[in-house]
Amino acid sequence: MSRQIVWMSASVLLAACAVLSAGGHSRASDEGRPADRAAIVEARPVDRRAMSHAPQVVPWRTITLGMFKRQRALLNALDDAHIHIGESAEEALHAAAFMVSQDSSTVQLVVLKAEDLGFDSDMVRLGDIYVKARQLGFALCRPEIAVYLRLAYRDQPLGDFLRVAMEPLMTYRGDAIDLTLANTGTGLLLLGGSGSGDTQLAASTQLVFVRPAEIAQRGDE
For the chain, what is the mean pLDDT?
A: 79
Please state the rounded mean pLDDT for residues 24-49: 40
Give 166's strand partners: 141
Percent of the chain with pLDDT over 90: 64
- Backbone φ and ψ for 218, nearest 5 degrees, come out as -65, -40
Using N-to-C axis directions, what is the helix angle for 143-152 and 71-80, rounded to 10°? 30
**170-204 per-position pLDDT tens digit:** 998 899 999 999 999 989 999 999 999 999 999 99
- The CA distances from residue 22 to 36, 59, 187, 217, in Å, are 22, 27, 21, 36
pTM given for the model: 0.76
- Reply yes or no on whether the pLDDT at 2 is more than 90: no
Task: pLDDT band for 55, please (50, 70, 90 cuts).
Answer: low
What is the Cα–Cα distance from 115 to 163, expressed in whole angstroms? 15
What is the Cα–Cα distance from 135 to 47, expressed in whole angstroms? 5
Residues 6+ positions from 137 with CB-CB distance below 8 Å: 46, 51, 54, 212, 214, 215
What is the Cα–Cα distance from 161 to 20, expressed in whole angstroms? 8
Q: Where are the domains of the chain?
A: 10-220
Task: pLDDT band for 96, please (50, 70, 90 cuts).
Answer: confident
- Reply yes or no on whether the pLDDT at 124 is more than 90: yes
